[in-house]
Structure 1
Amino acid sequence: MEYLKRISMNKRLLLSAAFIFFISFMGVAQENKFEREINQILSQNLTYSATIRQTGIQGIVLISAKIDELGKIDSLFLIESPDDRLTDVVINAMRALQDKWKTKYLDGRPFDKKYLFHFSFQIGKKTHDIVWERKQVEKLLEKGDDEKALEKLNELIAGDQYSYLLFELRATANRQLGNIEASQEDYIRAKYLKRDLISTITITAIAQ
């Protein structure tokens, strides 16, 4: 049986016989109080069962939520998922959020619009390693090693097409390399993702 322990307001740790897995909130540079409430509701209703983990299933589940004219979640649309079982896990969490949804959670965003919720299920890769990789790219850019930074960013973005932070960094790398058109495309991509992405949650399972 899984054992759940609250670690902090924005992180929780689940222990099982074979795995430790973390739920953390990645990709939001400045998480405000509304985002914290949203992420708390979602994380309290997310699981990464041993049955799913043992099959090696991992990847990104991306949900589009339609907000109606009154600011309530009207409907959910699946954009991407590696497996129906992970889809079911995420939809269950999103329905819990739908039941507890408050219009203030939009934090000034317009009503009658679709917004994105990003869930990344990972096995064997520590969450802090993802942050470390991003910081290494930032150091490469600071040193002027733009080619190497761009190569690493292309690799990271291939694994996650919805991180606006990665697109912002790649825009910088392309600009410093003189790839102005590519830089502008990445900047625009980052801008729209930042505008439309309400929550980014990473669920990481690590073998003990």
Structure 2
Amino acid sequence: MKNLNFDVDVHMLYTSYFVNLSGIGDPDTKEYLRLKYDCCEEDDEIEVLGEDIQNWKLDIPSEAVDWNFPITDRKEAVLSSLLRTAPGYLVMAYGCRWDGSSGYYIAATREECFLRDYDTQIVPCKVSRGKKVLICRESSHDVPMGSSTIIVALSKKELDYIGPYWKYGSGERIAHIARKYAEED
């Protein structure tokens, strides 16, 4: 497994926002952004990557960011750098709930692997050679220190082994696949 050097949510790796430079009081942050994004002194609004907005070393006030218009044109490139294309994905979250329980589901797309119906941060930590397995640190209000989430790009054979009714009793088969890849770490 290769360690990844990210410390931001996966969504912020591929999302950009417009930032009003006049709303940034710190001159060093403003200069850094102008140099990194190759903009002129007259440019007042620039497109900034979400990972820079969340970077604690930069002083970008929330009010300077236009959160209403996220730009996600890098999504496919970022997700494909983390996981290979597959017919399905096993998402196994360990100790992710307030009571310490774990959960799993089968996602149809890479994007779906990172969607939740609650506020969470999912930080990619390790990826296997061939991008079959991605290990993330997932944190939420229930588990603020985070817990492990393993995402496995399933082969057709593995997906067939789990079966189409995975929600209704394939737990043993899913556990078998999850253990297989969790133990490789």
Whether TM-score is above 0.5 comes out as no
Q: TM-score, normalised by structure 1?
A: 0.22
For CA contacts below 8 A with separation 6 or more, give which structure has more relative contact order: 1
Is the radius of gyration larger for structure 1 or structure 2? 2
